[in-house]
Structure 1
Amino acid sequence: MSRPVFATIDQQALRHNLSVARQAAPGSRIWSVVKANAYGHGIARVWQSLSATDGFALLNMEEAILLRDAGWQKPILLLEGFFHAEDLDLIDRYRLTTSVHSSWQIQAIANASLSAPIDIYVKVNSGMNRLGFRPEQLHNVWQKLRALPNVGDMTLMAHFADAENPQGLVEPLQRIEHAAEGLAVPRSLSNSACTLWHPEAHYDWVRPGIILYGASPSGEWQDIAETGLKPVMTLQSEIIGVQQLQPGDGVGYGYRYRASQPQRIGVVACGYADGYPRHAPSGTPVAVDGILTQVVGAVSMDMITVDLTPCPDAGIGSTVELWGNQVKIDQVAKAAGTVGYELMCALAPRVPVKVI
């Protein structure tokens, strides 16, 4: 029999979270972001649960082709665009929308032999200084692209570095507005944080990602507690061993935890090779048989140890929720010094996944 660790993906929660995003931005169409294999949830598993979306946004050509082959006929946006000129053959064949953020891409589109014009998203640098044309370049870039017979519909695109901050969009939006002055163009600016908290940036298309999977863009679960968003992924295991500690006894590698009094601990079949964060310290929340308790000692490759003091009836075979409905993934991530995004994406291939 396989190890008891497994993940579940809740399709109803996905559908519900998409409806929350639509309610938050009722005047906009939605790109559901399914990059990184749908944030670790498995794009092949979840896309049909998000089929009420207006389009899917992702990075990998392979995932775009998977969606087309599965029967998705509505728009697909390549968020980072194409990486080589020959990729335009696939963009043409599968009728994909691509972002354009560099001058070489403009030249590649101009030189391409396409069956029909392709739709593009022109990315402007909002000040985040990752991808995108500088604001003062936008008018020239726009006119160059507009003049190309290979270019169909055009949309202005940007991303924000600090959208979780109530004032985080003031300067970037001003920069974008100044750059686009005189251009009557559709816009797609809003990520998850903007979708929830910045209606002034909704415009024509919003691009929710992390909120579709029920976690917070800020990394603080309390920030989305009133939105109705539901966790989609649950990571669960069981206790496979119990130890009785005496005062001074250490636990795990490096004895990072020592008992100060008599204490029962449970050994859980889950470790960093399953995707649980290796840096999760003692005190990281877990739930055993529905009772909140905490990790004690170092996370091992295949096991963690947890305090059974709050749950005296727990023993071998007791259910352990590592994250999910009771223990929020943002809480685990915060304790480990990371973000929920990373934990979702890091779910290991060896962990079985059940879709409910």
Structure 2
Amino acid sequence: MIPRVTATIDLAAIQHNLRVVRGLAPRSRVMAAVKADAYGHGAVPVARALEAAGVDALAVACLEEAMELRQAHLLTPIALLEGVISHEEAALAVYERLQVVVHDHWQIALLEALPDSAQLSLWFKLDSGMHRLGFPLADVPRLVAVLRRHPNWKLEGWITHLACADEPDSDFTPTQIARFNDALAGVAGPRSIANSAGIIGWPQARTDWVRPGLALYGCSPLPQVTAAALGLKPAMTLESRLIAVREYAAGEGIGYGRRYVCPERMPIGVVAIGYADGMHRAFANGTPVIIGGRRVPLAGRVSMDMITVDLRAVPQAEVGDAVQLWGRDLAAEEVAGYAGTLAYELFCGLTQRVHFRHLEPTAAAVEARSTQRGR
């Protein structure tokens, strides 16, 4: 059976991107974000590739994501970015030797209910201005006191998160960094500030640990800087194929709502991908795809299972031809802009109908164990 839509994940590209991150922050350890199924790329195969490349730690959002990696026998340290939400989760996190990112006093109460002998590894998250998760900066002395009460607790470090790191002219990012550093003056423990945008745009945020996400998957987090300029390689290439080619006269409308009207007699191609696969309905006329090595614009509204494209640039196109939606020849960041969104959402929005295959770093293609994201 030939898949309608295939997402090919180049694991060698992810390992390459890790090397780029290390080059930018050579004195930092790297905690790779593999939450949200490795940003839609397949958590287990991606984590294995990162582990093989010597990444220092992995980061997930929640216990369920960590357990998927543990059950796949990943041995790299794993941090729970949202911490734990129940006594049962706290106990399991200790049993599985997970690092718990603690962001509120109610979580400390959960952890203090564990046996005194529990060997707990934790990070304290501080709110330096993102105002999402984290202890107030003024709570640092209280947190230091908590550690003194629990000699079995191992402090992995102190974390904060930048709100405007993707804005190179931001006044707020230096403010956040200064607030974080001032609050921890004289306090022991490693520091972690930078996400991908922080790593690339703010050298002063490259502290003991960095936490890359989007950059590992080959996308630039900075609107004004391309991934290619940073030396990053796209890890995901999304492809479908033409399933029909028709010619229509000038004035004919294409698709739902006739949102595209042919300006002249012209060929229109139908591609077997739609919003049920993760191709956003918000994509506008003119959104590029690649057919036969040429950029071809979307012509008409995205349907559940299909899109229509203007084939005037590739009059030789025929049924069965490959169509690249984003990836090695077309940056996901650019494509996302036509839907008013970000590459993160494109990657994470692919559905179970998409067939995933993972190319091992040897460049030998290895099919995923199932068609759903390598699971």
Q: Assess if the C-alpha contact under 8 Å between 1:117 and 1:149 holds in 2.
A: no
TM-score (norm 2): 0.91
Aligned to 2:175: 171
Among candidates 186, 190, 194, match of residue 194 of structure 2: 190
Q: Where do residues 294-309 of structure 1 align in structure 2 (5 Å cutoff)?
A: 294-309=297-312
Mapped partners of 1:206, 1:230: distance in 2? 19
Among candidates 262, 265, 268, match of residue 268 of structure 2: 265
Identity of paired residues, percent?
A: 43
Would you say 1:350 and 2:370 are equivalent positions? no
Q: 1:299 to 1:257 in 2, by over 3 A?
A: same
Q: Assess if the C-alpha contact under 8 Å between 1:89 and 1:114 holds in 2.
A: no
Among candidates 49, 54, 61, match of residue 56 of structure 2: 54
Q: Assess if the C-alpha contact under 8 Å between 2:3 and 2:355 holds in 1.
A: no
Q: Assess if the C-alpha contact under 8 Å between 2:227 and 2:233 holds in 1.
A: no
Among candidates 201, 204, 209, match of residue 205 of structure 2: 201
Q: Assess if the C-alpha contact under 8 Å between 2:166 and 2:223 holds in 1.
A: no
- Deviating beyond 3 angstroms after TM superposition, the runs of 4 or more aligned structure 1 residues are none
Among candidates 111, 116, 119, match of residue 109 of structure 1: 111
Matched letter for residue 284 of structure 1:
T
* Structure 2 unpaired stretches of 5+: 360-375
Q: Where do residues 215-234 of structure 1 align in structure 2 (5 Å cutoff)?
A: 215-219=219-223, 222-234=225-237
Mapped partners of 1:21, 1:171: distance in 2? 24
Aligned to 2:372: none
Mapped partners of 1:55, 1:48: distance in 2? 12
Partner of 2:230: helix, strand, or coil?
Answer: coil
Q: Assess if the C-alpha contact under 8 Å between 2:259 and 2:300 holds in 1.
A: yes
* Structure 1 unpaired stretches of 5+: none
Partner of 2:135: helix, strand, or coil?
Answer: coil
Matched letter for residue 20 of structure 1:
V
Coordinate RMSD, CA, aligned? 1.4
Matched letter for residue 68 of structure 1:
R
Among candidates 275, 278, 282, match of residue 281 of structure 2: 278
TM-fit CA distance, 1:184: 2.8
TM-fit CA distance, 1:57: 0.5
Q: Assess if the C-alpha contact under 8 Å between 2:250 and 2:263 holds in 1.
A: yes
Corresponding pairs, count: 355
Aligned to 1:210: 214
TM-score (norm 1): 0.96
Mapped partners of 1:167, 1:74: distance in 2? 36
Q: 1:142 to 1:8 in 2, by over 3 A?
A: same
Partner of 1:90: helix, strand, or coil?
Answer: helix
Partner of 2:178: helix, strand, or coil?
Answer: helix
Q: Assess if the C-alpha contact under 8 Å between 1:219 and 1:340 holds in 2.
A: no
Q: Deviations over 1:239-274 (max 9, x none)?
A: 000121211100000000101111111000000101
